Structure formats: structure tokens, C-alpha cells
Structure 1
Amino acid sequence: MSKFKFLAGLAGALALSVGAISAVPAAEAGRDFKKSVVEFEDRGASADEKRAKRAERRANRAQRRAKRSERRSERRAERRSERRVERRSERRSERRANRKERRANRGNRAERRARRAERRANRADRRANRQERRARRYERRKHGERFRKRRSSHRHYYNGFYYANPWWLYAAPVIAYNGARYAGSDYELHVEWCEDRYRSYDERRDAYKGYDGYWHACISPYT
């Protein structure tokens, strides 16, 4: 696949170089053709007539350039008008025309004043709640209430991942009974379970290192 890509790139580069080389003679041929046309038109004319025709051609070229630039500026203005956003003053002038009808439909002025006062009184609380909501997204994952009950739906890669595999919950009474009978082997089973599950498990700490960079206690069916 890489050899095919290399050959395709080489062919493209060769085609580009050939096109660039062949474009130079083509441009020169075009210039020669224009020159021959001018020489044919000026054939048999006097020096003053040639000078006058040359000035006329120059004026025509300048006129064509001016028309091209004018069309270009018109196209730019059209594109600007298409992209242009309505100004605030224009929106306000449109609303100002219907102000009386809108005021008539808004109801009692005292009620409006009461609603405005209530809205302004709640503004500080809303701001505080907004900041608390935003800060809660970035709390790191904890064991406890926020272990599974996340108030925010934002899940980040640094929160780690909890593999909810509760197959052992249904056999919890049997496991507890066997654990009570074989209390000596529980710790070895716990260590083996944690080592199998967490690559960073440290037996001395009895903890594993999570994605958030903190050490978490390993909770197994044998704890």
C-alpha cells in the first residue's frame, strides 16, 4: 500500500512539473499571437496613426480594467450584504413602530413592576446556583454518595470507570457464610481478586491507583 501511494505521488508530481513547463510556451505563444494581430492591424499605417491606435488600445484596456474592478467591488458588496447581520439600531427602530400595541398587550404596570423586582431579587441566587452547577461538573470521582449518584451527566475520561458487575451480590449470603467458615483464606482471595481486576493494585496499601491519580481502596467480594 505504501509503495502504491509513493508511485501515485510520483506520478502526480511529474504531471504537475510537465504542466508547469508546458504553460510557459503556451503563454509565450498567446503573447506572440496578440503581437501578430496588432502588427497586422497596424500594417500600412503611418507613425501618427500607429501612435493613435496604440493610445486607443491603452484607453480600452484601462476601461476594461475599470469595469472589472467595478464588477468585483459590486460582487464584494453583495457578499457583504448577504453576510451582514441586522444591527441593533435597526431592530429597535422596527420594534419602535409597534411599541404602543406591545405596551397595550403587556398588562398592568404594577404587575410588571412586581415581576421585575422578583426577578432582580432572584438574580444573585441564580448566579450562585449557576456557579455551583458548573463547579460540580469538575469534581473528581469519590467513593460514597457521589460514587454512583452523579448529579451531573458529564462523564470525563479522568473520572475512571466503574465496572458494575454485581454477579456476586445474589450469592452474598453464601459468600458470607463461606467467609465465616474459612476466615484464613479470605485475604488471599481478596488480594488475588484485586490483582486480577486492577493492574496498579498494591497489596501493601490494599489500594489501586485510579484514572484520577488518587489511590482508592480495593473493594472485592471477599472484603
Structure 2
Amino acid sequence: MMRAPVRLPITRLARVASQTEGSGNSDSDCARLEIEDAHGTEEASQSSAVMSLNNFTGQLVAEWRQDSHSDDAKLTLTLCGKPRACKRRLYPERRQFKIRGIDRHVIWYKTADHATLKAPPAHLLRPRQHALYVHAHRRGIQAWMYFKDASERADRDHSQGTGKGKKTERKEASEREMLARWRRTYEGQEHPELDGYVLHFLQDGSPRWVRNVSAKAYEKRQMKRQTMCI
């Protein structure tokens, strides 16, 4: 079957900054595509039509202009994406400390932000068994401990299936795996393997595994300092 050749009109693609109405601040970027079919250069009155489509991703504006005295026509498509919410990304700092009295080191991670965390950013970490994660926020600190065995059990449970949709199973498995690997821990909690050792936090928020007797001594000294300040 023979097809007639098609002449492509002049096309321009530009990227422009979108501005909030009444404000000079740039909120998002717009991609503008101009398709122009021009046959003459004389100025004349033009007819135009504008159509706008909106959804959660942004706004698409189509503007059509045609010269009423000639065959000149121009179509402009402007796509403006909605600005993304500004969210600070955390970069965990890897540290370690030696448990006093025994030849054992503990890996721990540290982050700080004004907001609390739902869970540690596991995709950025390569922890060892019983590693600690400490997050400092405006109201205090949060702490988690890593359990590799619990993660393996979560993987086995997921492999058995639940009869739900694949997307739902993947989401639930990811949440279970996150909770299984990193469990919330608190000051005074006993070490899972070392008898007589409990978790203690220094004044700067750094974690330490200390003997129960030492933890009580630290607590008494802290209470004494607070009393003297009053």
C-alpha cells in the first residue's frame, strides 16, 4: 500500500522554570514542546484554543493558535511537574567501640535529624550480628539492634507464601524483614549473649555495653549531677 509523504512542521523543545502564581520562587520544572506549521510571515489576527489536564503528577497545557488569514498554525504543549516535597536524606556514620573487660568490638551506626525514624535505612547498611543503630532527634534518641537470624526466619516465612497478591506479599515481607533485622532497643536492656551486660548511653548519645553494676553507678552519678544543678 502506497503512503503519501508527510511533511513534519518546525518543532522546538525547551525547558523552562515554572513559578508559583504571585511568587518569584521557582517550584518545579516545565518541559515545553512547540510544533509550528508556518506558511507565511505576514502578521494577521489569530484564533486560539487552550486545554489543560491535571493529575497527581502535574499539569499538561495544550495551546493551539491558527492564523485566520493563512494556513499558519502552532501547537504548544507545556508539561509542568509538581514540586517534590523536600526531605533530608540521612547518611549513617559507621563507628565501633570495645566492650570493657572483654576482647569484643561492637559496630554501630549514627544519624541525627529533627524528626524520628520509623526504621533504620537498611539499604545503606552492612551490619554485623548485634550491631546497633542510634538516631538522635529533637526529643531524644532512638536505638535498634540487628539480628541476622531473625532476618533469615523472615525470609523462610516469606518463601512459603500467604495466598495474597504478589505485590501485597512483597510489601508485607519487606516490612517483616525490616522489623526482624532491626529491633528497637532501650537503655538498660540486657545483651542477648553476654550475661551481666546492659545497654548504656553516654551523655553524647553514644552506646556502650557495660556491666549491670557499672550502669547503676553511672545512673547514680547522673542523678547526683542533676540534683546539684537544681
Higher gyration radius (CA): 1
TM over 0.5: no
Shorter-chain TM range is: under 0.3
Q: State the TM-score, normalized to the length of structure 1.
A: 0.19
- Give the structure with the higher percent strand: 2
- Give the structure with the higher percent helix: 1
